[in-house]
Structure 1
Amino acid sequence: MDASTTPPAQAAVDPVELLADPYAVYSRLREAGPVHRFTGTDGLPAWLVTRYEDVRQALADPRLSLDKAHAKPGGYHGFALPPALDANLLNMDPPDHTRVRRLVSQAFTPRRTALLREPVRRTADALLDAIEPLGRTDLIASYAAPLPITVICELLGVAEEDRPDFRGWTDALVAPDPARPERAREAVRSLLAFFAALLTRKRAEPAEDLLSAMIAVRDEEDRLSEDELMSLAFLILFAGYENTVHLIGNATLALLLDPAQLAALRDDPARIGAAVEELARYDGPAPLAIRRFPTQDVTIGGVTVPAGETVLLSLAAAHRDPRRFPEPDRLDLGRDTTGHLALGHGIHYCLGAPLARLETEVALTALLARLPGLELDVPAETLRRRPSMRTRGLLELPVRF
């Protein structure tokens, strides 16, 4: 981050354009300057960081806090959740973050994730068994959404008959309907009641699942509090579903719109690991990293951001920065994607990154193997996306095969 300072650029952003084509908006801002005063689609002010090197450094800067206690009133804060859902890693700094992440890491191990590969494959095959005879389907509703929900519920230990409408709840939180504000409040109440009952049941009848392991884990006399347990269960469900469904949907669409890259992956399925990294860079589910609040005045890209104001780090702009990725608007499954930021950077690197990669690799491999001739069933320009600057995801993906 630069030592000298310059006046910030004031970003003129059309909310409709931002939701329709964030890459065009963020690219224009990135070339106009590294840091902008910015008003989001909700009308709240923030500082937007757009260039790869600045975004990468800021992701790991300890002066940029995730704790809303450091935020000034009036800026963009993200979700307003009760303490029982808010005491998670996305709102914590060290030492609390260090303590909680260490405890969760003892339960959410690489071995536990690796053991999910076969269950993920079985789930994908079962969903495709139902899809295959149809000849056409909405891939979001029939595949990209139910796959991660099933996997997360198995990971947490939620029985199939006890799985409520998680998608409805997350939709109500991420993209609230201005005409029905009560839906978000109802979703929060439902989530609280669901996780409270689930924790009670797991304490009474522990099993070989992540939630039981999180209840049992301790580090000497330290263990997760009730609010931390419920908040982390919510985070695993929310992030594990929300990000993965959109990564699978966006990746599938990107491949359908680029027949040469799709054919290359079909010809060499062993490239799937590298392909998922490029697809996450090219059109990831999170245009913005989780909001941050400077604990002191911080200079980013030559612009001083006052303490307590909201900083938004644009992953979408960073991933299309030609200073880091040549021809960034081109999908290239052979690209060196080292250093992409889709899963974070620094101490807040996504704890569930291995699971997100595993699910997307398995989902795409099975999809391409089972549905030959897969193509869009509607013009690409008619596809609708979730109306949110927080996430980039399709509401539906009609295909034929």
Structure 2
Amino acid sequence: MTADPYPGYAWLREHDPVCPVDDPNVPGRTWLVTRYDDVRACLADRRLGSRAPVNPDPHSPGLSNLDDPGHARLRRLVAAAFTPAAVSRLRERTARTCAHAVESFAGRGRADLVAEYTRQIPVAVVHDLLGIPEAERAPAADVLDMWYRAKFQQPRDEVKLAEMLAYVRKLVDRKRSHPGDDLPTRLIESGALTGDELEVMVMTLIGAGHITTIQFLGTTVLRLLAHPGRRAALLGGGIDWSRAVNELLRLDSPDHVAEYRYASEDMTIADARVAEGDVVLLSLASANHDPKRFPDPGVLDLTRDARPHLAFGHGAHACLGSHLVRMQTEIAITTLFGRLPDLALDIPGDEIDWGYAPTFRGPRALPVTFTPREPMTPAPPAGATDRGRAPRHRAASGLG
């Protein structure tokens, strides 16, 4: 993936805002939409459905691949776990996880912040949300590798898909035998989901809960390393965190395109004639750099009111986890730079290796140097436990 795809997006917005593209993985004609107004309108247009005519996976479609009423039914079942109040209950555990991760490398004077920090935090937080104890979790690198290769890489890696499904099934089996005060237990006890739906829901929550947040934390660290003055103002309280995170999301949308949309009838988008059955790709990243909506879109302005950004989508499929992402970002950044204030990138910025094309964008590695710190003794990482009730019966607890 090119380190800077935005000049290409700019050309498309100006000359071919709804253009046909070749996608060998999708039958029929595919369109790419790049202007802000068109992308936002399409995200809310019920004529563009999210459910594929043929489901390629050997299980039920997830939240992002369903239309109403099925989508609304599943979304209602999990929405309460992602409210601001619910997310705030994860703050303390998230802070301990971030502190523990920083201490693991603070004494060395150098680290790869992707491998050792920005990849670790989202995977830990989403497993906390699901009530999975530390000892039962797959390593963060393995979790990312499974989900990317099984769900987003083309062609799909069938071996990784099998590994991912096995991991999720073991996780669900564990929650059946070790219920706790957590989302999977509540879903199981509600009886509102079939076994297949429950597995797909947990799979969706883990995937959506980490894969884009890893990219966003990486780009956020990179931006703040490059702008020490703005970083100091943010960490010193001179800039509102909510406004700053919105601008960082706008500038570096971790999800470059929304999930596929499928035209349910003939329609016109801008001047393009889209036929029934055509696939429509909505470029969130290009929309968020549209100068007609955001003046000087390539400039980082942490005081900008970027709230209309589309990094979390729009409409019925707007991201449920937006509050979770904001919370993680604030804690991860304040913890990292608070402990290691003289962090510096250890390679030229133009040598950053970017991935994971074409869906996501974030640094694959962030080698940094800093003054080594004397070790602290933080609380252990906040791996969730099944607490609040006794197991109904004994069973093997390992996820393998």
Aligned residue for 1:328, secondary structure, equals coil
Which letter maps to 1:202?
K
For residues 187-198 of structure 1, the aligned pairs below 5 Å read 187-198=160-171
**Deviation, structure 1 residue 307:** 1.1
Distance 1:351 1:217, change over 3 A: farther
Q: Distance in 1 between matches of 2:2 and 2:75?
A: 33
Measured after TM superposition, the shift of residue 35 of structure 1 is 0.7
Q: How far apart are the structure 2 equivalents of 1:146 and 1:162?
A: 15
Q: Which amino acid aligns with 2:200?
A: S
Count residues with an aligned counterpart: 366
The aligned residue for residue 172 of structure 2 is 199
Q: Report 1:49-64 matches (<5 A).
A: 49-64=33-48
Change (3 A) 1:28 1:232: same
Matched, 1:318 2:318: no
Match of 2:111 in 1: 137
Q: Structure 1 residues 108 and 354 mapped into 2: Cα distance closer, same or farther (>3 Å)? A: closer
How many angstroms does 1:387 deviate by?
A: 4.2
Instruction: Measure, in 1, the Cα distance between the counterparts of 2:336 and 2:24.
Output: 35
Q: Is 1:31 equivalent to 2:14 in the alignment? A: yes
Quote how far apart the aligned CAs of 1:104 are.
1.9
Q: Which residue of 2 aligns with 1:247?
A: 216
What SS does structure 2 have at the residue aligned with 1:36? Answer: strand
> Whole-Å Cα distance in 1 between the matches of residues 317 and 31 of structure 2?
20
Give the direction of change, closer, same or farther, for the CA distance of 1:339–1:397 in structure 2 (3 Å limit). same
Q: Per the alignment, do residues 386 and 174 of structure 1 end up closer, same or farther by CA in structure 2, a change over 3 Å counting?
A: farther
Change in CA separation of 1:177 and 1:141 when aligned onto 2, cut-off 3 Å: farther
Offset at 1:177? 8.4
The equivalent position to 2:350 in structure 1, one of 378, 381, 391, is 381
Match of 1:105 in 2: 79
Aligned counterpart, 2:189: 216
Identify, as 1 or 2, the structure richer in helix. 1
The Cα offsets for residues 26-59 of structure 1, whole Å up to 9 and x where unpaired, read as 1111111321111259798520111101101111
Please report how far the alpha carbon of residue 129 of structure 1 lies from its aligned counterpart in structure 2 after TM superposition: 1.3
Counterpart CA distance in 1 for 2:46 and 2:12 is: 25
Q: Taking every aligned residue pair, what percent have the same amino acid on both sides?
A: 40
- The answer to whether the aligner puts 1:90 opposite 2:64 as a matched pair is yes
Shift of 1:270: 5.7
Give the whole-Å Cα distance in 2 for the aligned partners of 1:82 and 1:278.
39
- CA drift of 1:259 comes to 3.2
SS at the partner of 2:20?
strand
The residue number in structure 1 matching 2:326 is 357
Match of 1:81 in 2: 57
Query: TM-score normalised to the size of structure 2?
Result: 0.86
- Aligned AA (1:170): W
* Other structure's SS at 1:131 match: coil
Structure 2 alignment gaps of length 5 or more:
371-400
Does 2:163 align with 1:186?
no
TM-score w.r.t. the length of structure 1 is 0.86
Per-residue deviation, 1:82: 2.2
The residue aligned with 2:126 is: 152
Is this contact kept in 1: 2:81–2:87, CA < 8 A?
Answer: no
Q: Which runs of 5+ in 1 are unaligned?
A: 1-17, 72-76
1:122-160 CA-to-partner distances (Å, cap 9, x unmatched) read 111111112211211100011001111111111112221
Residues 1:387 and 1:342: Cα distance change in structure 2 (over 3 Å) = closer
Structure 1 counterpart of 2:258? 289
Q: 1:48 touches 1:313 (CA, 8 Å); kept in 2?
A: yes
CA shift, 1:247, in A, is 0.7
Aligned equivalents of 1:177 and 1:381: distance in 2?
27
Match of 1:12 in 2: none
Q: Distance in 2 between matches of 1:175 and 1:66?
A: 16
| Amino acid in structure 2 at the alignment position of 1:359 | Q
Distance in 2 (CA, whole Å) between partners of 1:174 and 1:19 is 22
Instruction: State the 1:110 CA deviation.
Output: 4.0
How far does residue 360 in structure 1 lie from its aligned partner after superposition? 1.0
Counterpart check, 1:272 vs 2:241:
yes
> Residue 239 of structure 1: CA displacement?
1.0
Q: Which amino acid letter does the alignment assign opposite residue 111 of structure 2?
A: T
Partners of 1:175 and 1:386 within 8 A in 2: no
Cα distance, 1:98 vs structure 2:
1.2
Distance 1:270 1:320, change over 3 A: closer
Contact 1:250 1:284 (8 Å CA) reproduced:
no
Cα distance in 2 for partners of 1:364, 1:308 equals 44
